[in-house]
Amino acid sequence: MFAAMRGEKLESLHLFTDEPSGLEAIVAIHNTRLGPALGGCRYQPYASFEEATADAMRLARDMSYKGALAGLEYGGGKAVILRHPHVDNRAALFEAFGRSIESLRGRYLTAIDSGTSSADMDCIALHTRHVTSTTEAGDPSVHTASGVLMGMRAVARARLGQSNLRDVRIMLQGLGNVGYSLAEQLVAEGADVMVADLDPGRVRLAADELGVEPVALAGVYEAQCDIFAPCGLGAVLNFDTVSQLRCAAVAGAANNQLADAAVAEQLVSRGILYAPDYVINAGGLLYVALTHQGVAPGVIAGRIEQIEERLDSIFQQSEAEARSPATIADQQAEAILFS
């Protein structure tokens, strides 16, 4: 475990249990050089403790890099609560997690993530102030989607030669809160949107409400499009799936999209532009961090709009130095965090 922590440059790893509620939680704190660690609380089933721990560590690292490039005074952290088939009292589970967060004395600030809701954050907030994305603070999903939209404009400019998304064909994989909001915003922009999701009901709803084109899951990677947008869980880009892609660029909201760092070079070799996930999906982090600090909504919106400029800069440097955008983004973040 210590070797894995050193590999991710992780500062600390915390395990919490609470027998009455059934809580089994992992909190990974990657880096606090810029400030307390901030990152969501993920509530998902995992095949093993080792898989859950590895996920928490990888996600914590990305939160550090995301916060650094977004110009925030926060480090990176992530929480994972192991989701079992049955829980007697969900509220009690998250209250127990709130007490766990409080025991860290402000080193980690938690927020909504996959499998959790603002109502869960409200339960956590009963026992600690080190939480955001509560009902009062608001769900960051729409702001994550807005940032991805801004990033897609930079992608369209770099790869398609246009600064808007009108008639740009986009394959959107995943219709959770972020994915559905992104689909709404893309349709409003005049994009030609295709969608796929594990839940066929979400796909039917999007088709009926938004007029998007449903695509079978089996055909997602081979769909002919301008932009492939992963918006579900991570590690969907591997050597097999990238070999199937028929797109000009990859730009989506999912975290940890690359199953392996070498996949970034495979994308380059195939002529597919990649928008580093922790850059393009930083809108939600900006919203929760700045809302927690009491920053005005208009200022927050302006900071989210800067995602487009940040990607413009990364793409330009990538082109000038003949290195992948993923490598450029990593080096920029590491210069802030470790120099």
Active site annotation includes 66: no
Q: Cα(174)–Cα(145) distance, rounded to whole angstroms?
A: 12
Catalytic one among 42, 61, 78, 292? Answer: 78
The stretches of the chain forming alpha helices (DSSP H) are 2-8, 49-69, 90-103, 118-125, 141-155, 177-189, 200-210, 239-244, 263-269, 277-280, 283-292, 297-321, 325-338
Instruction: Report whether 210 contacts 187 (CB < 8 A).
Output: yes
What's the DSSP call for residue 36? S
What's the DSSP call for residue 224? B
- Burial classification of residue 250, based on how many CB atoms lie within 10 Å of its CB (0-12 exposed, 13-18 middle, 19 or more buried): buried
Contact residues for 216 (Cβ-Cβ < 8 A; gap 6+): 196
Joined together, the tokens standing for residue 140 give 């960051």
Joined together, the tokens standing for residue 188 give 């409003």
**Which positions are catalytic?**
78
